[in-house]
Amino acid sequence: MWATFRAAVTVGDGVGVGLQSRVMDRNELNEVRKIALGLPGVTEGMSHRSPCFYVQNKKPVCYFHETSRSSGRPAIWCPFPSGVNREMAESEPERFFEPTPSASGVFGNWLGVYLDTSVGHEVDWTEIAVIIDRAFRHVAPKRLIAQLDEQ
């Protein structure tokens, strides 16, 4: 799974095309906001005192955390198919992590992505756009995915 995802980010598969041009030099939340709210049916709200982006005000696509619980680094949390989060976190722990699941198991298959440059890398906003796109496709109804594909 990770290799397929990594190939899409590295080579490009049309997902997130054009998103890079919409990303400006602003703080991390504004960057995430521009990407997430560019997806059909996505709205912004607050959940657990953090900005959250939802599909049709129901299913979360992305949580933004100014300081991640364990590291103190800015991050996003996105739902992903089972196993992808672990694979990515193990392969690049300086960039990806597995959020701690809640007592009810929420966040168990979510991917955490650090949004800072404290480990010597620039944030690749095209890659972040692809990650948010993948999370959207994981939770959105087929109708909204089709609408995105038509854009």
**Residue % of the chain over a pLDDT of 70:** 74
- pLDDT for residue 148: 96
* H or E, element range at 51: strand 50-55
DSSP 16: T
Q: What confidence score (pLDDT) does residue 103 get?
A: 65
pLDDT at 82: 87
- What is the rounded radius of gyration, in angstroms, for the C-alpha atoms of the chain? 14
> Residue 71 has what pLDDT?
65
**For position 11, what pLDDT does the model report?**
38
The mean predicted confidence, pLDDT, of the chain is 80
Range list of β-strands (E), 59-119? 59-65, 75-79, 96-97, 110-114
- Spatial separation of the C-alpha atoms in residues 136 and 144, rounded to whole Å: 9
Low-confidence ranges of the chain (pLDDT < 50): 1-26
Q: How far is CA 27 from CA 32, 42, 116, in A?
A: 9, 20, 10
Q: What is the pLDDT of residues 97-125, one digit of tens each?
A: 988 777 666 777 899 999 886 556 678 89
Specify the 3-state DSSP secondary structure of 61: strand
Stated pTM of the model: 0.78
- Over the stretch 10-25, which tens digit does the pLDDT of each residue have? 434 444 433 332 333 3
Q: Which of helix, strand or coil describes residue 59?
A: strand
| Class at the top of the CATH hierarchy for domain 2-9+25-100+108-150 | alpha beta
Position 24 scores a pLDDT of 31
Q: How far is CA 83 from CA 39, 58, 110, in A?
A: 25, 24, 9
Asked if residue 77 lies in contact with residue 110, where contact means CB atoms within 8 angstroms, the answer is yes
